[in-house]
Amino acid sequence: MKGLVLKDLGRRFGAVDAVKDVNIELQPGEFLSLLGPSGCGKTTTLRMIAGFLAPTSGSIILDGVEVSSPQNSLPPEKRGMSMIFQSYAIWPNMTVAQNVAFGLNLRKLDRAEVKRRTGEMLEAVRLNMLADRYPSELSGGQQQRVALARALVIRPKLLLLDEPLSNLDASLREDMRFEIKRIHDEFRITSVYVTHDQSEAMVTSDRIAVINHGRVEQIDTPYEIYTRPKTRFVAGFIGRTNQLTGRRGAAGVDFTGFTLPDALFTGADTEVFVSIRPQSLHLSVEEPAENALKLPGRITARAFLGETWDYVFATEAGLEMRVVARPHEIYEVGAPVWAAAARDQVVQIR
């Protein structure tokens, strides 16, 4: 089977489970991000895939071959992978073209082939005009493109990227996300990308694995992760959200000052958690027609952000929610309003 499989993967450091029971299957050509806060275990996972660190449990299988387990470990250079780091790690004494050609020369390809593939790759990363420059004569973004070209030119089985954009300034970082996506779409090299930046993960990835305390909380497409978060952690980590806690009672599930029918929720726990995105709530002066959730209340604060209004809505009972509205939806602070959400926008989480 082609692709990458992480099977019950774990790594302990003393008493700390840095990575625990990670199960991920990557299809060939897929781009996966490992996303999570500092210390969640994403770098440890990547280092195990790369072969810099042995797992203490489980195994890693690349294109059908076990490359890592506690008993056996294929050295990094035998795994057919390329890696890109935060620091560009390109050779300062070589030109752009020489940097890109390096891996091909190492593999003793003939000169014409090296020239052809180097040229093709420089074109793909849009550096053909700068082929004879030295790294010191390039911007940060250009240097990172050289690193990308150098990593891809050898056609690795797997590309590993460890926070490759963190040294770039904000606007360049944004451009480079799309650049990475475009280049990946062209070459479809199976890729694993480590980042703590959710936008970076959302732009570049086919799927995202959200990691918390060494465990995968959810692995899904960016759209699913955002619209259907499964856990409180995922809902809070990806984008902004209103998280409400309800208690199951005789009449349904009681939230602060309102009750929703029990039939809307699964499970049998006494506590029920839901996530409602700020843009899933709609404000109106008149009471809205049928909606899963509709509450009377007031605007208690607002800010105009250009593309949107950011409102704080509060009910009599003291429940506060953030609401994002379009520029023409203007409500004054203190104004009585209704806030409503459709059934499928009230997402139950664990």
Per CB under 6 A, residues contacting ligand ATP are 13, 16, 18, 36, 38-44, 196
Q: How far is the CB of 147 from ligand ATP (least distance, A)?
A: 19
Q: How far is the CB of 64 from ligand ATP (least distance, A)?
A: 27
- Please say whether the beta carbons of 316 and 279 come within 8 A: no
Among 42, 29, 47, CA closest to 183: 29
The three-state secondary structure class of 178 is helix
For ligand ATP, give the closer residue by CB, 153 or 210. 210
Amino acid of residue 2? K
CB-facing half-sphere around the CA of 216: CA atoms within 13 A? 21
For ligand ATP, give the closer residue by CB, 212 or 275. 212
CA separation for the pair 53, 293 (Å, rounded) = 50
| 257 phi/psi in degrees, rounded to 5 | 85, 5
Tokens of 53: 């660190």
Q: Is 241 exposed, middle or buried (0-12, 13-18, 19+ CB in 10 A)?
A: buried
Q: How far is the CB of 86 from ligand ATP (least distance, A)?
A: 10
For ligand ATP, give the closer residue by CB, 233 or 331. 233
The three-state secondary structure class of 304 is strand
Q: How far is the CB of 262 from ligand ATP (least distance, A)?
A: 38
Q: How far is the CB of 13 from ligand ATP (least distance, A)?
A: 3
**Cα separation values, 5 from 27, 159, 297, Å:** 9, 14, 50
Tokens of 39: 């210390």
For ligand ATP, give the closer residue by CB, 154 or 201. 201
Q: How far is the CB of 87 from ligand ATP (least distance, A)?
A: 14
CA separation for the pair 107, 96 (Å, rounded) = 18
For ligand ATP, give the closer residue by CB, 89 or 251. 89
Q: Is 79 exposed, middle or buried (0-12, 13-18, 19+ CB in 10 A)?
A: buried
Q: How far is the CB of 237 from ligand ATP (least distance, A)?
A: 12
Q: How far is the CB of 197 from ligand ATP (least distance, A)?
A: 10
For ligand ATP, give the closer residue by CB, 16 or 65. 16
Tokens of 189: 């090299």
For ligand ATP, give the closer residue by CB, 154 or 161. 161
For ligand ATP, give the closer residue by CB, 38 or 71. 38
**Cα separation values, 83 from 156, 232, 316, 328, Å:** 9, 33, 55, 48
